[in-house]
Amino acid sequence: MAVVSPMPASSQIGFHHFGAPMVEAYGQEIIELPVAPRISEEIIYVAVGDIVKESILTIAWALQKSKGKKICLLHVLQPSQTIPLLGTRFPASSLDEEQVKAHRKTEMKNMLKTLNRYLLICRQIGVQVGVVHTAMDSIEKGIVDLISKHGIKKVVMGAAADKNYSRKLKDLKSKKAIYVRQEAPASCHIQFICKGNLIHTRFV
């Protein structure tokens, strides 16, 4: 299920609320849950991963090209298929429900910490952004699912790992990017970036 990312209220992040915020309890903390942004062509969605340094140039590129449009980060949490226990890893399907739920909660907290880092970086440069996220076994399918469900019209995402960048790079190298290019709704304009450079555009 796609949701708007809940972030710790105590961090006082410069989160752009596209509407009035709601507040609810999450474990021992009180989190602020912004209302989902109004989907429109004026919002650019930037797909970000678990490793901040690998996505920050993509965000920077989108900000430079945004021309005042709102920016919303898009993230897919891929639940691990194995869970660490007693010094080894077990298939999630072999453990009881409570053990799996505890690990999923840890994964969610780690994801929120990562998204919080993105928001802090954006705040430091004076930019307020929104975040939408979902959980799915396949990251690329999760991106396509978010695009479809929310009627997203503009997406910026990685074309390949930064280490694979060269001036000769003219097409997509990432299997995720190739899948999204092929499967995302035709109504979505997608720009694929590598190391801060535009590699490919899928036009509407």
**Is pLDDT above 60 for 33?**
no
Please provide residue 37's backbone torsions phi and psi, each rounded to the nearest 5 degrees. -65, 150
The answer to whether the CB of 74 falls within 8 A of the CB of 118 is: no
Q: For residue 164, what is the DSSP state? A: G
**Is pLDDT above 60 for 19?**
no
Within 8 A by CB and 6+ apart from 174, the residues are 158, 159, 160, 161
How far is the C-alpha of 74 from the C-alpha of 48, rounded, in Å? Answer: 6
Summarised one tens digit per residue, pLDDT across range 104-156 is 999 999 999 999 999 999 999 888 899 999 999 999 999 999 999 999 999 99
Q: Please name the helix (run of DSSP H) or strand (run of DSSP E) that holds residue 158, with its range, or none.
A: strand 154-158
Predicted TM-score (pTM) of the model is 0.79
Residue 170's pLDDT band, with cuts at 50, 70 and 90, is confident
Task: Give the distance, in angstroms, between the CA of residue 79 and the centroid of all CA atoms in the same chain.
Answer: 14
**Domain 3-202 indexed as CATH 1.10.287.110:** no
Residue 69's pLDDT band, with cuts at 50, 70 and 90, is confident
Between 99 and 12, residue with greater pLDDT: 99
Residue 35's pLDDT band, with cuts at 50, 70 and 90, is very low
Give the pair of three-digit tokens for residue 153: 């019209």
Summarised one tens digit per residue, pLDDT across range 95-107 is 999 999 999 999 9
